[in-house]
Structure 1
Amino acid sequence: MAQDDNSGKDLAAEDSSAHIAAPGASAGTAVVSSDAVKNPGLPPHRKRVTDLDPKKQKHAERTVFTLFYLSIAGSIWAVAAYMLFPIDPSDLGSVRLNNLFIGIGIALALLALGIGAVHWGKALMADHESIDVRHPVRGTEETRSRAVEIFDEANQESGFGRRSMIRNTLIGALIAFPLPAVALFRGLAPEGKDTEPVALLNQTMWKKGLRLTRDPDGTPIKASDVTFGSAFHVIPEGLSEIPHSEGMLEEKAKAIVLLMRLQPEDLHEKEDRKSWSYDGIVAYSKVCTHVGCPVALYEQRTHHLLCPCHQSQFDVTNHCEVIFGPAARPLPQLPIAVDDEGYLVAQSDFHEPVGPSFWERH
């Protein structure tokens, strides 16, 4: 028993000595000794098959510029498909064919361009590790000269200046790739004669005697229906009866109006426009003069109209003058009156083009 007691004391002494040898160490603290594992460094560089075999390098080069050629072909095909497979609004099958073939062309152009660029970098560009030392401030003239040398070295390593087929096909693919987008966006513009934007936006469906109706059901609006502080979304009479295929959406986009009623004494009207309103009821185009968003938010207390897209604000009491935001001019006012039955009617069309101001620039 005495021996067991002594051995227990010896173990306790060893434990205490261990704590003394590593001051500040706890039961969960690892003590790093001097023989820690050293950094093994990078593994030996393995050359690619294109670095070892000139035939493989040539094959990779042909693959890259072939992919760039395919990208050019895809871009050209997308433009051709846009013309060969036009959309017929009455035939959904034409929409599917148009989207399918244009999509195939754009997908081929983008994928071939991306895969070719990746394969070029992996198989042909210089394959070695390097360290790029960066300076926090602009360098000296010697440093800038060295930068030019680095660009030259990059050119040599990538082979951009030396491999003319890859360079030329890459440039061709990059030039051809945006062409489908140009063709598609061009199709959004009106076609044929008399398509100058200012002329198109200067003429809407509104004309003398045409009744103001609710959007979208086309119910005519009486002056007595418009209470103080109210706002009505308005379209011309007969617009809701026009089929979509005959341009109903285009006409509505130009002719939409917001109708409001204020106290007559709150309106600060110009002398030549006092006849454009009726007993405090005014009508203004809903098409914002910034980029054409619908101005549909009416603040009753301040009599301000707000465009939700870019926060342009218009003062209804002062002919919808711009009081805030990027819009460049007031909203066009629609002259209104009341017919024999008490319905609100237009006196004429707008006296200026509706929509964004940039259409008026020549």
Structure 2
Amino acid sequence: MGNHSDDHPAKPEGTSEVEAKAGQTVLDKFENPGLPPHRPRLADTEPRAAKRAERQVVVLFLISVIGTLLFFFAYFGVHLDQSIGALRLQNMLLGLGTAFAMLGIGTGIVHWAKTLMPDHEVSEERHELRSEADRQDAVEIADTIIEEAGIKRRPLIRNTLIGAIALAPLPAIVMFRDLDLNPDVNKLRHTMWKEGTRLVKDPTGTPIKAADVTIGSAFHVIPEGLNELEEGKLNEKAKAVVLLMRLNPDELHPSPGREDWGYNGIVAYSKICTHVGCPVALYEQQTHHLLCPCHQSTFDLTQECKVIFGPAKRPLPQLPIKVDAEGYLVAQSDFHEPVGPSYWERG
């Protein structure tokens, strides 16, 4: 085997193998490639195209205004007759109105910038603003930007933008002002549940026998007679809806005085999360945990729905239940504490 050093001549010091093969040299700094040539847009060269783009921006701002008005129509004009259909219609219109209000402003400004505002690329050296002269230069630059944006020359765009921006925050203001900051807790302390009220399936209203509830099963339950209400149906349901589950009785650990609040491992708890009132709808059969999907508050069913994770501060209220003479599950009484969120003052 020969020595390969003869086949490859020695490289000069300080030169890498790549540089030696490619003949590259090390530069002190990159050369300035300059700015690419400016390509004028259609609106820059054709007045009709610029006018068309201006009308499109105005239409987008008007869509924002219409979206805001749609929100107010849905909020004040849609009559909630306690039916699910009316509630869904209002929620849909509220969502569409808010979406169009925000989308119209955003897309309008973007379209304005892309089609009508100056798009020349500029390169400037960075320097500090230290003197009053520099600050005056900054003011002049801002004035130049306003002038080049065409706000003064395009009053239709300016006026529709001002109108859209003025109306857009109003839905949020109305919704926040409508919040009840000092609610009457007694409204949440009492529900439709009372002694002897049958537990029925939601939404069919079918009564539930204890024999129908198997270990590991979960039912969404409302009080019998709720579906027949003419007024206040949704409000009553929001307070009274419960989750019904059955566990092995040996896995339950009731506190003193609550030993008879269930029946043979069947227990019922309020479905309304004690954090901000979202519906607790996820039941983990293996761990016996109830999970609120909004903020992941987790309640342990074996420990009277004690909070084991998340922002909720108190357990879910338990509904005492028993079995009547016909084998149907009925309530022993109403909840012994208010249902729903815990952030209100509870006098």
Alpha carbons 2:41, 2:115 under 8 Å: kept: no
Amino acid at match of 1:156: T
Amino acid at match of 1:258: L
Superposition pairs for residues 33-72 of structure 1, below 5 Å? 42-43=36-37
Q: Which residue of 2 aligns with 1:129?
A: 121
What SS does the corresponding residue of 1:314 show, helix, strand or coil?
A: strand
Q: Which residue of 1 aligns with 2:253?
A: 268
Q: Which residue of 2 aligns with 1:174?
A: 165
Change (3 A) 1:339 1:73: closer
* Cα distance in 2, alignment partners of residues 286 and 97 from structure 1: 24
Superposition pairs for residues 151-170 of structure 1, below 5 Å? 153-159=141-147, 170=161
Count of residue pairs brought into register by the alignment: 305
What SS does the corresponding residue of 1:345 show, helix, strand or coil?
A: strand
1:284 maps to which of 269, 281, 284: 269
* Cα distance in 1, alignment partners of residues 41 and 188 from structure 2: 65
- 1:206 and 2:193 are equivalent in the alignment: yes
The alpha-carbon deviation at position 67 of structure 1 amounts to 7.9
Superposition pairs for residues 163-312 of structure 1, below 5 Å? 170-171=161-162, 173-180=164-171, 183=174, 185=175, 196=183, 198-242=185-229, 246-312=231-297
Identity %: 49
Alpha carbons 1:293, 1:307 under 8 Å: kept: yes
Alpha carbons 1:284, 1:332 under 8 Å: kept: yes
What SS does the corresponding residue of 1:234 show, helix, strand or coil?
A: strand
Structure number with bigger Rg: 1
The alpha-carbon deviation at position 336 of structure 1 amounts to 1.8
More helix per residue: 1
RMSD over aligned Cα atoms: 5.4
Superposition pairs for residues 332-347 of structure 1, below 5 Å? 332-347=317-332
* Cα distance in 2, alignment partners of residues 233 and 257 from structure 1: 6
Give the unaligned 5+ runs of structure 1: 1-38
The alpha-carbon deviation at position 142 of structure 1 amounts to 5.4
* Cα distance in 2, alignment partners of residues 127 and 297 from structure 1: 53
Amino acid at match of 1:339: D
The alpha-carbon deviation at position 74 of structure 1 amounts to 4.5
* Cα distance in 2, alignment partners of residues 179 and 42 from structure 1: 45
What SS does the corresponding residue of 1:273 show, helix, strand or coil?
A: coil
The alpha-carbon deviation at position 255 of structure 1 amounts to 1.8
TM-score, normalised to structure 2, is: 0.61
* Cα distance in 1, alignment partners of residues 309 and 267 from structure 2: 21
Change (3 A) 1:343 1:81: closer
